[in-house]
Amino acid sequence: DMQDHIDGTVQAHVLPGEKVHFKKELHFFDVRRRYRLGIDFYLSHYPRCPHDGRPFFGVDATPKYMRIPGIAAKVHALYAGHTRSIRII
């Protein structure tokens, strides 16, 4: 698990009423009803980035993102303009 091996890595917070697996797999980009809730819903699962120079890595490890056509375009559209500050691996 990446969180155990890389300093500054955080998993998503599970919101009230959500299943525990959303801690690692948010299923935001591949589940239409969750995607329609928008970016504020997605970001509400993560703590705010520290601005003190420490590394910070938010993790969404939903495996379906790599297999469903159109997901890469959704991810790109969401993060357009922030490409210098994020890495998708």
Residues 31-69 pLDDT 10s: 999 999 998 999 899 888 777 877 777 888 888 888 999
Which has more confidence, 85 or 65? 65
pTM greater than the 0.85 cutoff = no
pLDDT at site 19: 87
Q: 36 to each of 5, 22, 40, 76, how far by Cα in Å?
A: 33, 17, 11, 16
Phi then psi dihedrals of residue 66, to 5 deg:
-85, -10
